[in-house]
Amino acid sequence: MTYRVFVGAVGADGSPLSLATRDGRFTYVGPQTPDTAHAQVIDLQGKLVLPGFVDGHIHLDKSFVGDRWRPHRPASTLRERLAAEKQEIADAAPMEDRADALMRQCVSFGTLAMRCHVDVDASTGLTHLHAVMAMRDKWREWLDIELVAFPQAGVIRCPGTAAVLEAAVREGVQVVGGIDPTTLDGDAHGQLDVIFGIAERHGTKIDIHLHEPGDIGLAQLHRIAARTQAAGLQGRVSVSHAYGLGDIGAAALDTVARTLADAGVSIMTNAPGDRAFPPILRLREAGVRVFTGNDNIQDSWWPYGNGDMLQRAMLIGYRSGFYTDDALHVALDMATESAAAVIGKTDYGLRAGNEASFLVFDAPNAAAAVAAAPAARAVIRRGRYWGGPAPLALDPALLRDTAGSTPT
């Protein structure tokens, strides 16, 4: 049995922290130094320890990471954007290679788990899903992936998609997706009938892309919350983006926030750069779970992103006007504990008994790390050194005992 004690670290609030691990699991996490008899002692020399990241929304099938740089092509309508995407994906490197490259990049930044939305509709079939599933199997030891069957082209306006969504669930997809039931599909009740019907029949979760603005988006959120309550799916339904929450007044926001909280509907926001987005603190105060993810990374939709969830937390804070330490901790929570809860990742976090996976940064506390998003870090998996995206000075004793080889 391998017994390691990590001393000299600091926790999120900057207070002293020690960790003990045995055979890849935490046996102690706290301010005291545990028994070091018969232990390999690793001195972290004042560095910050944080839990691994959880990306609550990513599209592994769309990214061009691992392929050549592709200049962004403007599009004036959603139909134009979808057509351009199909052309670019057809001309790109194999999807398996691109998904593999992005998974490797995310893992190197310290992501341990993610919810991946994969295009699944009557025009695409299960092609994207099978490619991502193959790479998920390759990275299974390092990355937990919850899959969403995402009907990018719509459900009602793309006949046959409902059957393909159901086929995806039969192949093991854990979440059924939706997209803009009114503005894209033109039939909110019809799309939601399909999505909630599949979830009730198969016991899946739901995650709906909702870009609809203002009152249209507000009405959709009330509709989704009511269906969630009626189906007994509290805690199993998420709405991604929910841009309309950033468009409405305080009274309407408070009302819908209470409705979402009562229904256990969570909200994902990546704090997009060109759009109003949900007011995170107001929603959390009402009891709504709010989490984050990278969303699109260097693809046909936008050229930004590298897979680093600490950088995403920084952008969340920057766009939200988070200046206090407490607010910066909220941004971090959205990329760690809250996202982990939404995807149902158990055995997670800096607690005795959990898998001993964590990150090490040269920062005095979590707020400072979120504000600066330092690239240098060390990724520790199951108590052993895995690596990181940039060099970070560490005790040589830890570097000698790495977590083993990674997929090639």
pLDDT tens for each residue of 33-71: 998 899 999 999 999 999 999 999 999 999 999 999 999
pLDDT tens for each residue of 140-168: 999 999 999 999 999 999 999 999 999 99
* Global pTM exceeds 0.85: yes
Mean pLDDT, residues 177-191: 97
Residue 69: burial class (beta carbons within 10 Å; 0-12, 13-18, 19+): exposed
- Angle CA 290–293–294, to nearest 5: 150
Mean pLDDT, residues 112-123: 96
Mean pLDDT, residues 120-128: 95
Q: Is the pLDDT of residue 255 over 70?
A: yes
Question: For the chain, which domains are there?
Answer: 3-51+349-387 (2.30.40.10), 53-343 (3.20.20.140)
- Angle CA 121–122–126, to nearest 5: 60
Distance CA 372, CA 167 (A): 44
Q: Is the pLDDT of residue 1 over 60?
A: no
pLDDT band at 222 (very low <50, low <70, confident <90, very high): very high
Mean pLDDT, residues 340-360: 97
